[in-house]
Amino acid sequence: MQKNNEQKSEFPSVSPKSKRQLGSAGIILAALLTTNNASADAILHAFNWTYDDVAGKASEIAALGYKKVLVSPAYKSAGNEWWARYQPQDLRVIHSPLGDTTDFKQMIAALQSQGVETYADIVFNHMANESYQRSDLNYPGAAVLSTYAADSAYYNGIKLFGDLSENQYAAGDFHPPGCITNWGDPGHVQYWRLCGGNGDTGLPDLDSNNWVVSQQQAYLRALKTLGVKGFRVDAAKHMSSYHINQVFSADIRSGVHVFGEIITSGGAGDGSYDNFLAPYLRDTEHGAYDFPLFASLRRALGFGGSMNQLVDPGAYGQALAGSRAITFSITHDIPTNDGFRYQIMDPTDEYLANAYIMGRDGGSPLIYSDHNESNDGGRWQDLYKRSDIQGMLKFHNATQGRSMQVMSNNDCILLFQREEVGIVGINKCGSGQDVWVNTANHNLWWHANYRDTIGNADVQNISSTWHKFYLPARQARMWLKE
């Protein structure tokens, strides 16, 4: 999500321009989630990649084991900054520094040829903030219409729908001007503008009138016709359930994976969850980013936390149902927006979190990979093909549809199995731990190699009822049966 021509914060006290015991015998043997999500394929978030770049990497992406690729918003937008992609000028054509409609079609075809689906990032809450150059709310505006007219053959050739000789939206298609000031009030958050401070008038906030809904539906249907199989709803927190449900009709939802971005600070009991994410899950059939689980991971893996918190967070409202969850250890908003940077994990904690979300049963893991847009030393650049991520993805794909059972847990470690196929061990603490398991209770195979997929030369061959698993300090193991 990017809400202004500057990085924005959902925490008004932070300047948008500044840089920057559970544990019981019953729980030990409990399954993490009752939902057995057999189609929870990992999604590569190709953040701010050009469509040509995605197309060129299609065979590599497929070979690594990704089944879906989420690409940055596809419509008319201007400006080279990554956040400019989240400021739509016109939904009727795809034309931005990432490519045009032709490039987008070719990317979808290249991915389809490798058995990989395309997901599109959708921005329906607002239009671009162009108050610095004009005072009207006509979109795309006179200047863009003139550009269309000057090269009508090209623009009509890349048109998705509509009449490019006319504006798509006018002043009556927007809520009255005014910036969000009460971030805990859904009415304020959903009907007023996201602003950057210092007199910024904010992003014009779209009304859910019949014309706006019809245009947004036409856009979604056009993308579906091109072959898009999933929609990420940007800034869903800032749209009413009425607006979302009007746009995402049954025919549009059919055959596609829809999930919303609603940033919260935690799960049940947290105000941002109770006021925004819980109503979204109640009022729609969509999935959502699992920010409750992300908060649970940050607490458990952080200083003073306990791995016991990750045994069954969903039982306490601290994780979403697996069938609706998009799980993650980092999203593009966290490092690129000042108000969310406090959520960046220690690099080792993030590695352990990735092992957890890629090893568990439940949720569709989203792997973020950028071009260092956040200026963090390239920490997430080419993350999608980092060796440990490759190994985690191999484990994830091999254990799809397998139920999960926790074998052992304490403050430092969590050891769980995916039936007899795989075993995940995570140790957050600074010293190694031996974990003894009665293999007869867990139906593990004897005299078969369980090999760690993350890249460590660690092979477990079980030959007796009691088997010792060693978990090194600050490390994860993902043993897969050969």
Residue carrying the six token digits 């399954």:
31
- 130 vs 195: CA distance, rounded Å: 13
- 450 vs 470: CA distance, rounded Å: 13
Measured CA distances, 21 to 26, 33, 291, 305 (Å): 13, 19, 21, 10
Percentage of residues in the chain having pLDDT higher than 90: 90
Residues catalogued as catalytic: 234, 261
- 346 vs 392: CA distance, rounded Å: 19
Contact partners, residue 440, CB within 8 Å, separation at least 6? 465
Residue carrying the six token digits 């000789």:
165
Q: What is the pLDDT of residue 199?
A: 87
- Crossing angle of helices 101-112 and 210-226, in 10° steps, is 50
The sheet carrying 459-461 orders its strands as 405-409, 413-418, 422-427, 475-481, 449-452, 459-461
In this prediction, residue 30 has a pLDDT band, given cuts at 50, 70 and 90, of very low
Q: Give tens-digit pLDDT for 359-393.
A: 999 999 999 999 999 999 999 999 999 999 999 99
Q: Are strands 287-289 and 364-369 parallel, antiparallel or unpaired?
A: unpaired
The region of weakest confidence among 19-33, 95-109, 162-176, 233-247 is: 19-33
The token pair that represents 393 in the structure block: 């993805």
In this prediction, residue 197 has a pLDDT band, given cuts at 50, 70 and 90, of confident
- 446 vs 461: CA distance, rounded Å: 7
Assess contact for 451 and 478: CB atoms under 8 A: no
Assess contact for 112 and 223: CB atoms under 8 A: no
Q: What is the pLDDT of residue 173?
A: 98
Q: Give tens-digit pLDDT for 128-154.
A: 999 999 999 999 999 999 999 999 999
CA 254, 72, 289, 398 torsion: positive or negative? Answer: positive
Q: How many residues does the chain have?
A: 482
C-alpha Rg value of the chain to the nearest Å = 23
The token pair that represents 382 in the structure block: 């080419």
Q: Is the pLDDT at 435 greater than 50, yes or no?
A: yes
- 447 vs 461: CA distance, rounded Å: 6
Q: Give tens-digit pLDDT for 287-317.
A: 999 999 999 999 999 999 999 999 999 999 9
**Phi/psi of residue 70, each to 5°?**
-90, 120
In this prediction, residue 457 has a pLDDT band, given cuts at 50, 70 and 90, of confident
Which amino acid, 144? V
- 441 vs 284: CA distance, rounded Å: 41
Q: What is the pLDDT of residue 455?
A: 82
Q: What is the pLDDT of residue 21?
A: 32
Dmax over Cα atoms in the chain, in whole Å?
78
The token pair that represents 277 in the structure block: 């994410």
Measured CA distances, 332 to 83, 189, 224, 278 (Å): 10, 21, 25, 22
Which amino acid, 99? G
Contact partners, residue 21, CB within 8 Å, separation at least 6? 306, 308, 411
- 115 vs 113: CA distance, rounded Å: 6
Q: What is the pLDDT of residue 350?
A: 98
Residue carrying the six token digits 């409202």:
317
Assess contact for 203 and 128: CB atoms under 8 A: yes
Indicate the DSSP class of residue 183. T
Q: Give tens-digit pLDDT for 215-265.
A: 999 999 999 999 999 999 999 999 999 999 999 999 999 999 999 999 999
The token pair that represents 392 in the structure block: 């985690």
Contact partners, residue 112, CB within 8 Å, separation at least 6? 118, 227
The token pair that represents 114 in the structure block: 């490798």
- 84 vs 62: CA distance, rounded Å: 29
- 233 vs 120: CA distance, rounded Å: 9
The token pair that represents 125 in the structure block: 């809450």
Cα end-to-end distance, the chain, whole Å = 41
The whole-angstrom distance between residue 295's C-alpha and the CA centroid of its chain comes to: 14
Q: What is the pLDDT of residue 98?
A: 98
- 303 vs 330: CA distance, rounded Å: 19
- 83 vs 48: CA distance, rounded Å: 9
Q: What is the pLDDT of residue 1?
A: 52
Residues pairing with 100 in the sheet: 95
- Which among 143, 107, 106, 113 is positioned nearest to 128, based on CA atoms? 143
